Chains A and B, each alone.
Chain A
Amino acid sequence: MRNYYKYLLILPGVLFLTIFMLVPIGMTIISTFFPNEAAADTSNYASLFRDSYFLEILWTTLRVSILTTIICMVIGFPTAYFIARMSAKMKALLLILTIFPLLTSPVVRSFSWMVIIGRNGLVNEALMGIGIIQEPLEILYTPTAVIIGLVHLFLPLTIITLVGVMESIESDLLTAAASLGASRFGVFTKVVLPLCVPGLVIGGILVFVGSFTAYTTPALLGGQQRVLSTLLYQNANTLNDWHMASILAAIMIVVTLIVITCMNLLANKLNPRR
């Protein structure tokens, strides 16, 4: 009997999440199948997936979030590797510097990017000044601008997650590998990289889900290019079409779940500790 008491500890958390997350999400998804409170109806989903406008937005959103995730990994991995191998003092300092951008709101960061990548912004002035380009590059209000903004937003998350995993790799393992004749490159690819897979997966999920659902950055930097979240906002807030907004929300949830499941399966396959 005593053993059951320990479940009381998680009760508040479970109750909170059930009432304020699971139930509303369930209601939202169920409501999408009952547009007229009569019989179940899936024609809305069917017509949406035949609509080239929607498919294009879905594809853009996926492409932007996948690219953001890959770029975050490529930049974040070496940075995290570097930080993880520093002394404790240096590590603390570098981690604080990494977290620092997270303290600024996405709105402020997006506006800064407008100033940097705009037509008369820093980047264009500099490139034109050295004579690399004659005409200003059009970066602002394109998907590229959104990716730049999102990478800036999520890179700290990637680095923090990866540093956590890399710290747990015992240096004895690396010494052992080297003493058994592995080259530096070999140690990295055969020992370090595989052991980092859980971190890469968690970081990847965080970045992907974050950029797939981000609203502020695409709304400010994306110009006329819509993504799912800005389409959802238009339906809910401007057009007052809550049914369509719920359908879009449901699609976003399902896509997110599919991606998380796939990445977990991949991680289980690759995880050397199993």
Chain B
Amino acid sequence: MNGRIKMLLGSAAIASALTLSACGSDSAGAGKEKLVISTWGFSEDFFNEDVYAPFEEEHNVDIVVETGNNAERLNKIRQGNSDVDLVYLSDYYAQQGVDDGLFEELDSSKLTNLDKIYETAKSPNGEGYGPAYTIGQFGIAYNPEMVKETVSSWKDLWNAEWESNVAIPGITTTTGPMFLDAASKVSGNDSFNEDAAFKQLDALKPNIVNEYNQTSEFINMFGQGEIAGGPIMEMYFSSLKEAVPEAEFVTPEEGGYAVMNTVNVVKDSDQKELAEEFINYQLSTEVQEKTAKAKVDSPVNTEVVLSDEEQEGITYGEDVIEKLNVLPADFLVENSKQWIDRWNKEVTK
């Protein structure tokens, strides 16, 4: 009995020693400020090394990253018990955050780099809220080995050659509503016509293999030859090419769509100034150029100069950006509930 008690005491001592030493190392790190960033998690290595690390060093701060898709991360902030300071969201989700009063208004005097970026990127969700740090393009990517006819229009996806060959974005993703709008255009309407768009999508059913709710799903299906292609953002084209070297990306003749990703400071963040500084840094020519050259995000900073080779897979140049269709985020937010409902019933099997 005695031996057993001794052993218990001994292990208790070891356990408490371990806890104490753990606490010790914890408090040593507490001297540094912490900036929590919520983002998608794509190209994590690039961001860690080339974007976060220099900022951490310059400002003596630890950057902590939380990842997930737009909806998940916005909902986490909505529920109120997160310590996120900065949040990356597409303009459609950022608009919902703005409408719900989840973000701080920014002090534009701190954002000196705002003058260098495209006009459309400055405040896509209303004056005072986070700028778009990248404008990408939503168009069509395809595998020419599987589809022989050339692709030049959104209409082409409806061709018989595409039977059981298309993956389309789900309606709750950023690009879902854009594809709905494209369907409306294909039906022959110049301005958005909801009924015509859904009818047009119904006609696409024989061609649809699956819906994707994450771009990685599209890339997988494309790489495995489950699909010949479909509507997707240009920024993922380099991943598609890695999977299928012959892959092509086209801007449909009716126009591609602008996909804007924004950065906002979460309401009541205790790091507001540092977060604003980070946003300014994200817009700087240096970071924008690095990000574009690594083919991670398309630049909004007009000072960035890219060679022809560097432009591949990147949405670049004022003339390209100007031609993109823009769906106003508030129009999306207003209608999304109804679209999701109809989409669930009429498009999803």
Q: Which residue of A lies closest to B344 (CB)?
A: A53
- B340 contacts A239, C-beta separation under 8 Å: yes
Question: How many of chain A's residues touch chain B, expressed as a range?
Answer: 10 to 19
From B5-13, B206-214, B248-256, B278-286, give the one contacting chain A: B206-214
B67 at the interface (CB under 8 A from A): no
B16 at the interface (CB under 8 A from A): no
**In the complex, which residues of chain B have a beta carbon less than 8 angstroms from the beta carbon of A223?**
209-211, 349
A232 to chain B, nearest CB (A): 13
Digitize A171-184: 1 where CB-to-B-CB distance is under 8 Å, 0 elsewhere. 00000000000000
B48 at the interface (CB under 8 A from A): no
- A237 contacts B75, C-beta separation under 8 Å: yes
**In the complex, which residues of chain B have a beta carbon less than 8 angstroms from the beta carbon of A53?**
344-345
**In the complex, which residues of chain A have a beta carbon less than 8 angstroms from the beta carbon of B172?**
234, 238-239
Complex-state Cα separation, A237 to B220, whole angstroms: 23
Task: Identify which of B71, B210, B225 contacts A141 (C-beta below 8 A).
Answer: B210
Digitize A27-53: 1 where CB-to-B-CB distance is under 8 Å, 0 elsewhere. 000000000000000000000000001
**In the complex, which residues of chain B have a beta carbon less than 8 angstroms from the beta carbon of A237?**
71-72, 75
Complex-state Cα separation, A237 to B213, whole angstroms: 12
Complex-state Cα separation, A237 to B164, whole angstroms: 29
- B226 contacts A118, C-beta separation under 8 Å: yes
Chain B contributes a number of interface residues (CB within 8 A of A) equal to 21
From 210 to 258 in chain B, residues with beta carbon under 8 angstroms from any chain A beta carbon are 210-211, 213, 220, 224-226
Q: In terms of DSSP, what is the predominant structure of the interface of chain A?
A: loop
Digitize B140-183: 1 where CB-to-A-CB distance is under 8 Å, 0 elsewhere. 00000000000000000000000010000000100000000000
A211 to chain B, nearest CB (A): 19
A91 at the interface (CB under 8 A from B): no
B108 at the interface (CB under 8 A from A): no
Known: A237-B71, A238-B71, A238-B172. A224 touches B211 (CB 8 A): yes
B337 to chain A, nearest CB (A): 8
B241 to chain A, nearest CB (A): 19
A113 to chain B, nearest CB (A): 12
B78 at the interface (CB under 8 A from A): yes
Task: Identify which of B78, B208, B209, B213 contacts A240 (C-beta below 8 A).
Answer: B78
Known: A141-B210, A237-B72. A120 touches B225 (CB 8 A): yes
B43 at the interface (CB under 8 A from A): no
- B224 contacts A115, C-beta separation under 8 Å: yes
B302 at the interface (CB under 8 A from A): no
Complex-state Cα separation, A137 to B71, whole angstroms: 35
- A138 contacts B164, C-beta separation under 8 Å: yes
Given known contacts A121-B224, A239-B172, A239-B340, what 17 new A-B pairs fall within 8 Å (CB)? A114-B220, A114-B224, A118-B225, A119-B224, A119-B225, A120-B226, A141-B209, A223-B210, A224-B208, A224-B211, A225-B349, A226-B344, A237-B71, A238-B71, A238-B213, A239-B71, A240-B74
**3 pairs of A and B residues whose beta carbons are closest in the complex:** A238-B71, A223-B210, A238-B172
Binding site for B on A (CB under 8 A): 53, 114-115, 118-121, 138, 140-141, 223-226, 234, 237-240
